[in-house]
Amino acid sequence: MSLFNPDTLTLREMAGLLRRGVLTSVTLLEFYLQRIAERNRHINALIQLAPVEELRRQAREADEMARVGQISGPLHGIPITIKDVLHVRGFKMSRGLGELLGEPSEQDATAVARLRQAGAIILGISNVPELCMAFETENLVYGRTLNPHDLQRSAGGSSGGEAAAIAAGCSPAGLASDACGSVRIPAHFNGICGLKLTQGRVPLTGQFPNDRSGLFHMTSAFGVMGRYVDDLALLGQLISGADGQDPDTVDVPFTASEPLANLRVALFSASSRPPVSAAVSQVLQHVERCLGPVVAEVSTVAPPMLDEACDVLWRVFITGADAGRGWRQLFESMNKRRFTPAIAQLLDMSEAVELTVDEVKRDWIMIDTFRYELAKFFKQHDLFICPVFPDVAFRHGESLEDRDRYAFVFPFSLSGSPAVVIRAGTDPTTGMPIGIQIVGPHWQEERLLAVAAFLERELERWSPVTPRPASTY
């Protein structure tokens, strides 16, 4: 075994040691295979693994190439995992639905192919809710994913499997997606880092089961998850850029962040919808104390129209605004009649929402107005820091108990804004992690990552979690 503990190494540090022959891909692979064997059975985060002998062959090949100076890319020989939401060659994708589970994918999605080209070894794929349409990762094919910090609590969704695997140290990083908070909520619940890139930066080519996803295509973005902020910075750039197939993806260069001393930070202060817990509030106060001496300005102000944006995302995109007809027709076309409780509840709630043509036009105008007003806000403030969720991870079965709890993530899906989530503290009562969300103007990921990297040094950082039984809180 190497003298280096992979848990303490960023992806770049792993890659550097591999290039110098100080660490081997075989060693890394065996480390994560052992972790998976020990911990995944307790949390059900990874649902398919590549054949072990094939993984070992790839690792040996990566080491042989490294020995002769042939480095395939920045992830040469590093194992990672992928959310069950896009095609991964050799794996049977399902998006959490048995009705979609078929033959193994023959071709990688663009984002997956780019990670392979960078040298990554795909360990396996991670669990999702049915059709990725819940904030609780559970389906009738693979079951429920548990939060490694407290097995009675949710890992979140829809990237709950990816987040739980990384939190438990079963994977160093992975590829995920975010249409309504699906990277950000699980990152907060599990105490890891997540990046939702600007919508239009990463091709959605190769989404499963279809490249286009109807209305949700307008809020969908691929994202990355990892243990450290630098992992996000590396992976985000690797998957970005037009591919000539997704017409909505453009090539926008990543630009270096301004110095922290020049940044004007807007910071969430208080909200009645939803009210945040005392522990979340204290974490934000600590963030303010950390940033105050090093940035140009910290203002306690929030962007306009956040509540309206939250409501529109719910009405138009999640329920479909058609009394549930769209959802029923979709599931009937699959001959699907059994659902997890979260999806059954979504169908029931959708039946209560039906908009007239005039109301849909009103909401569509509101979307445009919100995006315009948010852009104006970011002319006055370089970034906005707020909660991800008003409290720690909820207990299983509470995905849609109160949609106002998603008021911090829904608006920035509607706007297509980039957002970073990092762990920033711990709830003193439950011991659960608390994250913060850093949001900025389109294409300014490097600015958000620079602030996140500074705060990562000042606040709590990721450390692997051995899955533990439920608390009494």
Q: Which residues are catalytic?
A: 83, 158, 182
CB contact at 8 A, 322 and 354:
yes
3-state secondary structure of 42: helix
Q: Where are the beta strands (DSSP E) in 286-429?
A: 297-299, 383-387, 419-426
Task: Determine contact, residues 217/194, Cβ cutoff 8 Å.
Answer: no
The encoded tokens of residue 34 equal 């052992």
Q: What is the strand order of the sheet 297-299 is part of?
A: 46-49, 121-126, 79-83, 173-178, 221-226, 193-196, 419-426, 433-439, 383-387, 264-267, 297-299
State the sign of the Cα–Cα–Cα–Cα dihedral 395, 431, 265, 383: negative
CA pair distance 45, 223, nearest whole angstrom: 18
How far is residue 175's CA from residue 209's CA, in Å, rounded to a whole number?
17
* Sign of CA pseudo-dihedral 400, 404, 409, 413: positive
CA dist., res. 267 & res. 257, Å (int):
19
Residue spans of beta strands (DSSP E) within 316-455? 383-387, 419-426, 433-439
Q: Which residue has the tokens 């909505």?
A: 248
Question: What is the DSSP pairing of strand 264-267 with strand 221-226?
Answer: unpaired
Measured between alpha carbons, how far is residue 30 from residues 2, 42, 78, 201, 453 in Å? 11, 19, 11, 34, 29
Are residues 45 and 145 in contact, defined by beta-carbon separation less than 8 angstroms? yes
